[in-house]
């Protein structure tokens, strides 16, 4: 039986009716002459320089070392007894904090008898580890800016294992979170690059088409805050004084029957409210995500058709029919469900697949093949993008790359809602 929905039911156009940091480990450490690896740890709030403080433990006593930093985490390369995951390529660059004794760029330290790195340059308020400054050493110093991501490792000598041998700690990726104090339930999304779109075949289970092609590299050059959940009926009611939802009376369900214009009005009201409280930094606003921001956040580093893998099953999201298990999802009652009812993606975002389609800020247009940075489409006709699929649609409509659009920005539907971002100002 052909279960491809058509016309109104298809994935074709819908017709009208501060300061903190995110720290993540990378790069496996290798054991040194002590029989264990040296491990890198970070904390934020030192009050010095960038606010980031780094510590290293588990090193061989009396050995010296220093920190290296890069703009990209790269595949590991074996060097001496360790693995370096910060190597120079056409796009990645590596810098060493061993510049000028007495300068803020001097991170040289020595492991004590307990294997803890003791700072030798006076660049740690605790005496151990290193207080990372506000700049990266280069011919022209590179500022560590809010929203940027940098990757750190510690290189050290390990002569006890072999003359002249050296090793590396594990790595620590640090995203200096976006400015501002967001409302509750916002998640920091780091800057990064991904492949936008999909080359999925036209038949089941994905029913790919040309709207997601060509696949092309996209860079989001800034980090931003995104709502962990779709905006709920309770949140919309509290700010706007009304609840337009068809499935009303469910405060934890996403608000729906909101047009693109209504969603933007909500964002403007939230910006005004939070600006009065001093929580919105200059140049930022609450708004709808761009289409590129949305797909980047949905994928959360994945390259499969869904952020849960190659298949979307009824246990993964709220939608109507799975082409992967060939089964109806039998959502009871029919309609939206409470936000956050399924597992989050790698960024901690819920319901990026299913529940309700989500408005994006962009006008709809075809993709081009070239690499782009911070793409945003505006002024191209009356079409506005929606993403993510919904409770009413099939699994293939919920794919990370699937694009849909609504013909009139004032249109409303029972399966279209939205989520907000706190991000640089854009004018559609």
pLDDT at res. 11: 58
Cβ atoms < 10 Å from Cβ of 424:
16
Q: Which burial class, exposed, middle or buried, applies to 374 when counting CB atoms under 10 A from its CB (0-12, 13-18, 19+)?
A: middle
Omega before 214 within 30 of 0, i.e. cis: yes
Average pLDDT over residues 198-223: 94
Are the C-beta atoms of residues 407 and 14 closer than 8 Å to each other? Answer: yes
Global pTM exceeds 0.85: no
Three-state DSSP at 266 gives helix
Token readout for 134 is 């506000």
In 291-392, beta strands by DSSP E: 321-322, 327-328, 357-363, 372-373, 384-387
Residue 186 makes CB contacts below 8 A (sequence gap 6+) with 225, 226, 227, 228, 422
Q: How confident is the model at residue 372 (pLDDT cuts 50, 70, 90)?
A: very high
Q: Is the dihedral of CA 423, 376, 264, 319 positive or negative?
A: negative
Give which of 341, 274, 327, 28 is closest to 168, Cα–Cα: 28
Fold of 7-17+194-424: 3.90.1580
Average pLDDT over residues 173-180: 79
Give which of 364, 349, 343, 365 is closest to 301, Cα–Cα: 349
Half-sphere exposure of residue 149, counting CA atoms within 13 Å on the CB side?
A: 22
Report the b/e string of 233-245 with b at 16+ CB within 10 A: bebbbebbeebbb
List, for residues 376-417, the tens digit of each pLDDT value.
999 888 899 999 999 999 999 999 999 999 987 889 999 999
List, for residues 85-94, the tens digit of each pLDDT value.
999 998 899 9
Residues in the chain: 428
Q: How confident is the model at residue 145 (pLDDT cuts 50, 70, 90)?
A: confident
Three-state DSSP at 133 gives coil
pLDDT tops 50 at residue 12: no
- Tell me the percentage of the chain whose pLDDT exceeds 70: 94
Q: How confident is the model at residue 179 (pLDDT cuts 50, 70, 90)?
A: low
> What pairs with residue 23 in β-bridges?
174
pLDDT tops 90 at residue 23: no
17 or 335, greater pLDDT: 335
Report the b/e string of 130-164 with b at 16+ CB within 10 A: bbbbeebbeeeebebebbbbbbbbbbbbbeebeee
Residue 43 makes CB contacts below 8 A (sequence gap 6+) with 52, 53, 55
pLDDT tops 80 at residue 364: yes
Q: What is the C-alpha to C-alpha distance for residues 272 and 278, in angstroms, rounded to an integer?
A: 10
| Integer CA distances (angstroms), 46 to 50, 99, 123, 368, in order | 8, 21, 12, 45
User: What is the residue-averaged pLDDT of the chain?
Assistant: 92
pLDDT tops 50 at residue 370: yes
Q: What is the C-alpha to C-alpha distance for residues 38 and 47, in angstroms, rounded to an integer?
A: 26
**Residue-range domain boundaries for the chain:** 7-17+194-424, 21-176
In degrees and rounded to multiples of 5, residue 238 shows phi and psi of -65, -35
Q: What is the C-alpha to C-alpha distance for residues 4 and 6, in angstroms, rounded to an integer?
A: 6
pLDDT at res. 16: 35
């Amino acid at each position: 039986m052909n279960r491809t929905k058509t016309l109104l039911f298809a994935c074709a156009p819908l017709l009208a009716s501060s300061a903190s940091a995110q720290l993540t480990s990378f790069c496996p450490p290798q054991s040194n002459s002590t029989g264990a690896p040296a491990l890198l740890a970070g904390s934020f709030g030192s009050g010095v320089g960038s606010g980031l403080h780094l510590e290293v433990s588990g090193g061989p006593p009396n050995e010296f070392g220093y920190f290296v930093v890069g703009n990209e985490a790269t595949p590991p390369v074996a060097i001496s007894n360790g693995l370096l995951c910060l190597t120079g390529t056409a796009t990645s660059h590596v810098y060493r904090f061993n510049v000028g004794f007495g300068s803020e760029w001097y991170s040289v330290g020595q492991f004590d008898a307990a294997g803890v790195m003791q700072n030798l340059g006076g660049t740690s308020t605790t005496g151990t580890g290193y207080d990372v400054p506000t700049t990266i050493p280069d011919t022209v110093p590179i500022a560590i800016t809010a929203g940027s991501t940098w990757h750190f490792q510690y290189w050290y000598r390990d002569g006890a294992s072999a003359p002249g041998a050296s090793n590396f700690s594990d790595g620590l990726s640090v995203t200096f979170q976006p400015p501002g104090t967001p409302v509750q339930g916002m998640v920091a999304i780091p800057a990064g690059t991904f492949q936008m779109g999909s080359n999925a075949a036209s038949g089941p289970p994905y029913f790919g088409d040309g709207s997601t092609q060509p696949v092309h590299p996209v860079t989001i050059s800034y980090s931003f805050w995104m709502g962990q959940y779709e905006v709920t009926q309770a949140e919309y009611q509290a700010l706007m004084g009304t609840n337009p939802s068809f499935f009303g009376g469910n405060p934890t369900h996403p608000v729906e029957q909101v047009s693109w214009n209504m969603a933007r009005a909500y964002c403007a009201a939230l910006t005004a409210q939070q600006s009065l409280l001093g929580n919105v930094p200059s140049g930022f606003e609450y708004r709808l995500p761009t289409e590129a921001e949305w797909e980047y956040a949905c994928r959360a580093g994945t390259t499969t058709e869904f952020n849960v893998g190659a298949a979307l099953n009824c246990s993964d999201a709220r939608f109507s029919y799975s082409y992967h298990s060939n089964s109806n999802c039998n959502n009871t009652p029919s309609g939206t469900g409470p936000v956050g009812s399924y597992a989050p993606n790698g960024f901690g975002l819920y319901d990026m697949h299913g529940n309700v389609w989500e408005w994006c800020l962009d006008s709809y247009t075809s993709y081009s093949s070239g690499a782009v940075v911070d793409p945003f489409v505006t002024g191209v006709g009356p079409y506005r993008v929606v993403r993510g699929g919904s409770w009413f649609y099939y699994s293939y409509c919920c794919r990370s790359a699937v694009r849909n659009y609504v013909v009139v920005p004032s249109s409303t539907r029972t399966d279209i809602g939205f989520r907000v971002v706190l991000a640089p100002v854009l004018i559609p």
